[in-house]
Amino acid sequence: MILKLIKKILFLFMTVLGIMGNMSVSVNYMFSCWGSPEKKPVHLILIHLAFTNTVILLAKGLPKTIVAFGLRNFLDDSGCKIIVYLERVAHGLSLCASSLLTVVQAIIISPRASGWRMLRPKSAWHILPFFLFFWLFSALINMNLINSITSTRLNISQFKTDSNNCYFMLPSQKIKGIVLPLMVLRDAVFQGAMGGASGYMVFLLYKHHQHVLYLQNSKLLYRTPPELRAAQSVLLLMFCFVFFYWTDCAFSLILSLSSKDNTLMVNPRELLTLGYATFSPLVLIHRDGLLVERWHVQWEKLRKCLLFICSTRKKKLSVLQYCG
Over 80: is that where the pLDDT of 322 sits? no
Instruction: Give the pLDDT score at 158.
Output: 44
Q: How far apart are CA 182 and CA 120, in angstroms?
A: 28
Helices 2-35 + 263-287 axis angle, to 10: 30
241 lies in a domain? Answer: yes
Is residue 255 situated within a structural domain?
no
Mean per-residue pLDDT, 195-216: 79
| Tally of domains in the chain | 1
Residue 267, domain member (yes or no): no
pLDDT over threshold 50, residue 155? no
Give the whole-angstrom CA distance, residue 1 versus residue 11: 16
- Average pLDDT estimate for 275-294: 77
Residue 220, in any domain of the structure: yes
Q: Is residue 313 part of a domain?
A: no
Answer with the residue of higher pLDDT: 46 or 177.
46
Q: Is residue 221 part of a domain?
A: yes
Buried b (16+ CB within 10 A) or exposed e, 72-97: eeebeeeebbebbbbbbbbbbbbbbb
What's the gap between Cα 84 and its chain centre?
17
Top-confidence residue, 35 or 173 = 173
Domain extent, residue 65, equals 1-150+170-250+272-287
Taking the CA atoms of 285, 286, 289 and 295 in sequence, report the sign of the dihedral they define: positive
* Per-residue pLDDT at 53 exceeds 90: yes
Considering the domain boundaries, does residue 22 fall inside one?
Answer: yes
Residue 318 neighbours by CB under 8 Å, 6+ apart: 312
Q: State the virtual CA torsion across 12, 17, 19, 23 in degrees, nearest 10.
A: 160
Q: Is position 304 within any domain?
A: no
Mean pLDDT of the chain: 78
pLDDT at 10 over 80: yes
More confident residue, 168 or 262: 168
CATH code: domain of residue 81: 1.20.1070.10
Could you write out the DSSP letters of every residue in 284-309?
HHHH-HHHHHHHHHHHHHHHHHHHHH
What's the pLDDT score for residue 166? 74
Least confident of 92-96, 133-137, 178-182, 214-218: 214-218
pLDDT at residue 36, as a whole number:
62
Average pLDDT over residues 172-192: 84
Q: Which residue has the higher pLDDT, 17 or 232?
A: 17
* Segment 80-138, tens digit of pLDDT: 888 888 999 999 999 999 999 999 988 888 887 777 777 777 777 788 899 999 999 99
For residue 14, pLDDT beyond 60: yes
Q: What percent of the chain has pLDDT over 90?
A: 21
